[in-house]
Structure 1
Amino acid sequence: MPEIQKKKIQFQSIIDALLDDDADFPEYFLPSFSDIEGKEFTQLVSIWNQITPERKARLFEHLEILNDTDTLMDFNNIAQLALTDPNAVVRASGIRMLWDYENEKNIPVLIELLKNDIDQGVRAEAAGALGKYIYLGEIDEISQSNLKIVEKELLRVMRSSESELVRQKALEALGFSCREEVPSMIMNAFQSGDENWLIYAISAMGRSADQVWSTQVFSMLAHPELKVQIEAVKAAGELEIKQAKKILLKFILESESDEDLWVQSIWALSKIGGENVQKVFEKLLEKAETEEDQEFLKEAMDNLYLTNGIAANFELLNLEEPDEGQMHEFDINEGEIDLDALENTWIEDLEESLEDELEGSFDEDSDEEEDDELEDGYYLEDLDSGEDLDFDDEIDSEDDEDEEELDGDESQSDEINK
């Protein structure tokens, strides 16, 4: 049988399966939607509206998972098809899948969805997706004119009466931006007292790649709400906050009950780097009980090698790393707020909580005690039953120096200029 006829019959089987609500859609058909084009795509479009909304939603749920786990898949065409689907769940899924495709032609489509889609969730996803194009603009991968268009639209949303969710996603997207209006927006959200705004503010801080936010992010590692803590962990990795190394190690060893905190702490450490972090990862890999954990730890180690390689190149070039310890004043609503001058704020309470939970990690004497505990295997006994793992002098000395910067430079205030 000719190869062309085989493919035609195979895709007809996929069409039949899509239209059959009485049976589960076979997962082995999912890769067939990658790189779909030509006659097959035309055939899919012709029956698209005959597929029930529930089945399309389930299809895209599985396609999203495959898109996230297999980098060889290219679902751009079917994601584009989803953007015009009557089902908001499918439209939102299509937007998320487009994150991996750096096509400037998507910008006007996403802006149109952000402006006019009737569903709040779709508008929020569109706002979030536009953040990718701000990032691409900042690294000169798209035209500056398109960058300005995206920034202008997201800033409009931030100043509008849009729903909180859409504005929160817009703030997160603007985290990539160097526009001078953005830092005060982030700080307003951070100080709002609203937990959801706080989470998006922390995410924006991480995306900014600006060390000026290190103190705020570091303090949130002790937040009583786990979801805020997890966002702070991710941001600490993005900002490469060295002071967070021991805290992240503590989370890794003590967060077995929460997989997300464990995963994010490991990944954040892989971004911060340090030669002896590799030893920790190797021990974790030895103890990994599932193939999924093993694969994730190998990916984290690969990322760590990349991080350490970049750091080594900086040392060879005699380049100094940016100062992470500065506290600043922020221009908010045409006024200046000095964080040190605020009394009885929840920020101070959380910083005190952080100090208590980590047995005084801001204090030099307590730092020495923690170093001794690390040397004695206090935190690492669960990793190694017979051999203590020293989480290295480099981490201890770097943490001592960096924590002194955070503690000693808090009184210095400069207005943020990005």
Structure 2
Amino acid sequence: MGLKDEIRPVGPNFTQTLALVVQLEPGQMIPPVIVQGLSELLPSQIIDMYPVWESLSVEVKRDLMTALIEAGESDFATDFSLLGIMALDDHDADIRSLAIDLCVHVTSGRHAALLLDMAQNDEAEIVRAAAIRALGTFVLEGELDKLDTALNDAIVDYLLHVVLSDDSLLARTRAIESLGYSSHPQVPQQILKAYESGEPVLKTASIFAMGASSDSRWRDHVLHELERGTIEDRFEAARAAGELELTEAVRLLSEIALAEERQLAGAAIWSLGEIGGKEAIRVLEALAERASADEDDDLLDVIEDALDSANAADGMIPGFDASDDK
């Protein structure tokens, strides 16, 4: 997909945003103007936001947090991190869990230590599980030598403890996912144990971990799930095939990319872009023609992003045709 010029409307000032926030009612759709006005807040604005936040009902807080998370997933130019940090100690467990998701781009060691504390000590299972899942980012940071070694070791040791304990199924599932990024020698054994556990959600988590590991030992497991897994397992296997860059998966991914289930098809398309190569590019170009003929612009955007990735992997500049330079 080529570069697009984007004109952003001028948002309200922060005082106006707060005035709109206090008028929100439970179940009301959060207006885009509020979402925009709460992005990239300054610390001083968070101080002003806090009493307003405390005055809101639990239902409105949940609605607002959900809207901000969805906005962050679709618009990478937004940043609600400080608001998320503010809400991490909210008295409502659902809001604390949502706040963890809102802090997805916070990668400081201080935040990692806070998440570890929440994972160990929060009274609500949903919050502990969200914190355990979020720790996966910091396991990867540790593998890249971007996190204090002692803190990284403490996180990995705790995640292994959760997996080996009689902790809740949800907590163990999230721990397997986060451990996928770790090179700790015990991790492959725990991934395989989860895969063979007979517990569907643990198996699905183990396939996620296989992809996160970047370890080619999981090739046959991923290919098997692509062909015969449940829809949840096929989704994770489709993503894992791209992360492992399995050229052997191109044919199966090509078939999955035609699936009516949009998320599953999207995962296959993304992986074709990650794998690259002539066959993957040929498939993506054919999918792009089909999406264009169907006037499916959303799907076409996904395919064009994958084509850019595939072409870059092959050393081609997206949007550049060598035949034009003659």
Q: TM-score range by the shorter chain?
A: 0.7 to 0.9
Residues 227 and 252 in structure 2, CA contact (< 8 A), matched pair in contact too: no
Output one character per residue of 1:128-158: Cα deviation in whole Å (capped at 9) or x when no partner. 1101001011111222222112112211212
Query: How far off is 1:302 after superposition?
Result: 2.0
Summarize the alignment of residues 46-195 of structure 1 with structure 2, pairs less than 5 Å apart: 46-195=51-200
Counterpart CA distance in 2 for 1:297 and 1:240 is 17
Change (3 A) 1:148 1:8: closer
Aligned to 2:255: 250
Matched-pair contact (CA < 8 Å) for 1:217–1:235: yes
Answering whether residue 283 of structure 2 is matched by residue 280 of structure 1, we say: yes
C-alpha separation in 2, matches of 1:143 and 1:135: 12
Kept in 2, the 8 Å contact 1:205–1:235? The answer is: yes
Task: Indicate the residue corresponding to 1:28 in structure 2.
Answer: 33
Aligned match of 2:22 = 16
The Cα shift of 1:38 comes to 4.0
CA contact (8 A) 1:270 1:300 kept: yes
1:293 corresponds in structure 2 to: 299
- Alignment partner of 2:312 out of 306, 325, 329: 306
SS in 2 for 1:110: helix
Opposite residue 142 of structure 2, the aligned amino acid is G
Q: Secondary structure at the match of 2:240?
A: helix
Aligned length: 302
8 A Cα contact 2:180 2:187, kept in partner: yes
Q: Following the alignment from structure 1 to structure 2, what is the Cα–Cα distance between the partners of residues 157 and 22?
A: 36
Identical positions, percent: 28
Give the Å deviation of 1:224: 4.5
Mapped to 2, the partners of 1:26 and 1:194 lie a distance apart of 41
Do the aligned partners of residues 249 and 49 (structure 1) sit closer, same or farther apart at CA in structure 2, a change above 3 Å counting?
Answer: same
What whole-Å deviation, never above 9, does each CA across 1:361-385 have from its counterpart, x for those lacking one? xxxxxxxxxxxxxxxxxxxxxxxxx
- 2-side partners of 1:199 and 1:107: how far apart? 25
* 2: CA distance, partners of 1:234 / 1:22: 34
Which of these two proteins has the greater Rg computed from alpha carbons? 1
3-state secondary structure, aligned to 1:286 = helix
2:225 to 211, 220, 223: 220
Shift of 1:294: 2.0
Supply the RMSD in Å over aligned alpha carbons. 1.9
Partner secondary structure for residue 245 of structure 2: coil
Structure-2 separation of matches of 1:205 and 1:214: 9
Secondary structure (helix, strand or coil) at the match of 2:159 reads: helix
Q: Secondary structure at the match of 1:99?
A: coil
Provide the residue aligned with 1:202 in structure 2.
207
Q: Bigger relative contact order, structure 1 or 2, given CA contacts below 8 A and separation 6+?
A: 1
- Where does residue 259 of structure 1 map in the other structure? 262
Question: CA–CA distance in 2 between the matches of 1:59 and 1:77?
Answer: 14
Gaps of 5+ in 2: 1-11, 317-326
Deviation for aligned residue 1:59: 0.7
8 Å Cα contact 2:177/2:206 also seen in 1: yes
Tell me which residue corresponds to 1:232: 237
The verdict on how the C-alpha distance between 1:12 and 1:232 changes in structure 2, with shifts beyond 3 A counting, is closer
Cα drift, residue 161 of structure 1: 2.2
